[in-house]
């Protein structure tokens, strides 16, 4: 038995991809796709007609708008309206749903708009303010999951015996190690250079701190790793640490990956966490460079690195994901905006990246990161207290959809110094709430 039988006149790569996302990953029920009209009509079991042709008066039907039968990329004219308190687009005038739920979901999850309406920011990133979700006020909603739940209800109303398996809510805390230490682990030349730079700016407190840290009379201010470990252990969490291991440059300022400090830190972190790579600023489409950075980290641990998050959340579609697939990265955690919290791909379920230029999915699973400390403080200028309220609301939405809640922290933002004073309570509160 095929379970839920879905008819569509043409089974394209896009159709296969989005049906697998909906029925395998989100609402979890067995399904079969057919383009055989006669077989579909003859089937007496549970079925959905995804075509413009109506076969039975009371059948479940989703009328396609055409996006899934196309290839290539072209600008889409989109009007957003509401249905059941949810934003919708690609509206149709008949069928069991007032919009093409599959095309709309494909548009969002493939990041279709980022290919043709890319107005880059200073780091060549797609800016959140250009997105359909931000412009239409649904960036803070895992809209695809909410649509999928409505579809599940409609299917159950017609076919009460359709079996649906349940997803489970998961919390994955992650830490980007952009700068492991403020003063330790640097070369003598670099240390002397930074010392005299502080002197030239009359930063005497920095000079004193640097001297005390180097002489081991004081702990390095960015060394918050024991504090993090104690909390992850308390809540029985296994975080992911993304290590920056690129050559030093204007946007890559971690300690040398060949140095003793870096090697010792990676070994320590790997004892209680998964280790991922944080590809350097200009490596987003260069597999040779990223592979070299991975090897520098892997030589210090017994685990193979299969997870990645781009430094500065900087990615070039689809080249970044083709690069990751080529070097064996299976899971990526870059799908987030630097300037706003929420759901960049409008989903809180992991999904495989779809390459719109080659029209096939890649073996890289995308995990959407929902909040980042630097976004809340640096871009949105929110207080720790307001950030707690905002983050708890997002946690609640992910829990309801039984999705993944992924948060991004940085070790150097947990110092309780300067503009990060008061942010440890945020870290502690969210770990408890999300767990």
90 Ramachandran zone, left/alpha/beta (phi>0; psi -120 to 50): left
CB atoms within 10 A of CB 10: 10
CB atoms within 10 A of CB 308: 26
Q: Which residues of 339-362 are buried (b: 16+ CB within 10 A; e: fewer)?
A: bbbbbbbbbbbbbbbbbbeeeebb
- Report d(CA 97, CA 61) in Å as an integer: 8
Length of the chain: 435
Among 33, 149, 133, smallest CA distance to 397 is for 149
Instruction: Please report, for the chain, the start and end positions of each structural domain, with discontinuous segments joined by +.
Output: 4-158, 170-182+220-434
- Report d(CA 42, CA 45) in Å as an integer: 9
Q: How far is CA 242 from CA 9, 93, 176, 246, 326, in A?
A: 45, 47, 5, 12, 19
Which regions of the chain are under pLDDT 50? none
Q: How far is CA 394 from CA 3, 172, 348, 389, in A?
A: 34, 14, 10, 9
Q: How far is CA 38 from CA 7, 50, 281, in A?
A: 10, 15, 54
What pLDDT digit, counting tens, does each position of 272-320 carry?
Answer: 999 999 999 999 889 999 999 999 999 999 889 999 999 999 999 999 9
Would you state the pLDDT for residue 308? 98
The answer to whether the beta carbons of residues 338 and 374 sit under 8 Å apart is yes
Q: Which two tokens stand for residue 308?
A: 């990645």
Task: Decide if domain 170-182+220-434 falls under CATH 3.20.20.370.
Answer: yes
Give the 3-state secondary structure of 260-279. Answer: HHHHHHHHHHHCCCEEEECC
Would you state the pLDDT for residue 114? 96
- Report d(CA 343, CA 340) in Å as an integer: 9
Would you state the pLDDT for residue 199? 65
Residue with tokens 């709430």: 433
Q: Calculate Rg over the CA atoms of the chain.
A: 24
Torsion, CA 142, CA 148, CA 151, CA 152, rounded to 10: -120
Would you state the pLDDT for residue 258? 94
Would you state the pLDDT for residue 285? 85
Q: How far is CA 336 from CA 279, 314, 407, 421, in A?
A: 16, 10, 10, 25
The answer to whether the beta carbons of residues 109 and 346 sit under 8 Å apart is yes
Query: What pTM did the predictor assign?
Result: 0.95
> Which stretches does DSSP call E strand in 179-262?
240-243
- Report d(CA 364, CA 88) in Å as an integer: 28
CA triple 352-334-410, angle to 5 deg: 145
Would you state the pLDDT for residue 22? 97
The answer to whether the beta carbons of residues 7 and 51 sit under 8 Å apart is yes
Would you state the pLDDT for residue 189? 65
């Amino acid at each position: 038995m095929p379970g839920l039988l879905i008819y569509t006149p043409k089974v394209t790569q896009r159709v296969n991809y989005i049906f697998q996302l909906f029925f395998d990953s989100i609402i979890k029920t067995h399904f079969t796709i057919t383009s055989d009209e006669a077989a579909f009509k003859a089937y007496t079991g549970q079925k959905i007609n995804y075509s413009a042709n109506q076969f039975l008066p009371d059948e479940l039907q989703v009328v396609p708008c055409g996006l899934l039968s196309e290839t290539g990329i072209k600008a889409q004219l989109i009007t957003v309206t509401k249905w059941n308190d949810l934003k919708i687009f690609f509206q149709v005038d008949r069928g069991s749903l007032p919009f093409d739920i599959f095309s709309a979901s494909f548009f969002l999850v493939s990041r279709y708009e980022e290919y043709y309406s890319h107005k880059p920011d200073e780091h060549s990133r797609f800016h959140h303010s250009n997105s359909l979700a931000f412009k239409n006020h649904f960036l803070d909603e895992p809209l695809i999951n909410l649509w999928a739940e409505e579809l599940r209800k409609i299917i159950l109303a017609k076919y009460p015996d359709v079996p649906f398996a349940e997803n489970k809510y998961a919390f994955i805390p992650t830490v980007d190690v952009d700068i492991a230490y403020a003063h330790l682990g640097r070369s003598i030349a670099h240390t002397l250079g930074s010392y005299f730079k502080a002197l030239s700016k009359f930063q005497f407190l920095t000079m004193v701190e640097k001297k005390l840290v180097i002489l081991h009379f004081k702990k390095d201010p960015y060394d918050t790793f024991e504090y993090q470990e104690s909390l992850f252990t308390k809540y029985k969490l296994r975080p992911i640490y993304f290590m920056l291991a690129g050559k030093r440059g204007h946007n890559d300022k971690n300690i040398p990956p060949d140095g003793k400090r870096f090697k010792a830190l990676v070994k320590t972190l790997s004892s209680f966490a998964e280790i991922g790579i944080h590809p350097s600023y200009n490596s987003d489409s260069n597999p040779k460079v990223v592979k070299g950075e991975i090897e520098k980290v892997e030589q210090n641990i017994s685990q193979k690195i299969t997870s990645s998050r781009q430094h500065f959340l900087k990615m070039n579609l689809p080249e970044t994901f083709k690069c990751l697939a080529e070097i064996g990265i299976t899971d990526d955690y870059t799908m987030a905006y630097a300037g706003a919290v929420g759901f960049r791909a409008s989903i809180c379920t992991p999904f495989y990246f779809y390459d719109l230029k080659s029209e096939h999915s890649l073996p890289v699973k995308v995990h959407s990161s929902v909040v980042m400390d630097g976004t809340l403080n640096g871009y949105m200028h929110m207080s720790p207290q307001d950030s707690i309220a905002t983050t708890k609301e997002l946690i609640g939405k992910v829990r309801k959809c039984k999705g993944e809640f992924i948060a991004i922290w940085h070790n150097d933002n947990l110092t309780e110094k300067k503009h990060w004073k008061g942010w440890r309570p945020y870290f502690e509160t969210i770990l408890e709430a999300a767990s």
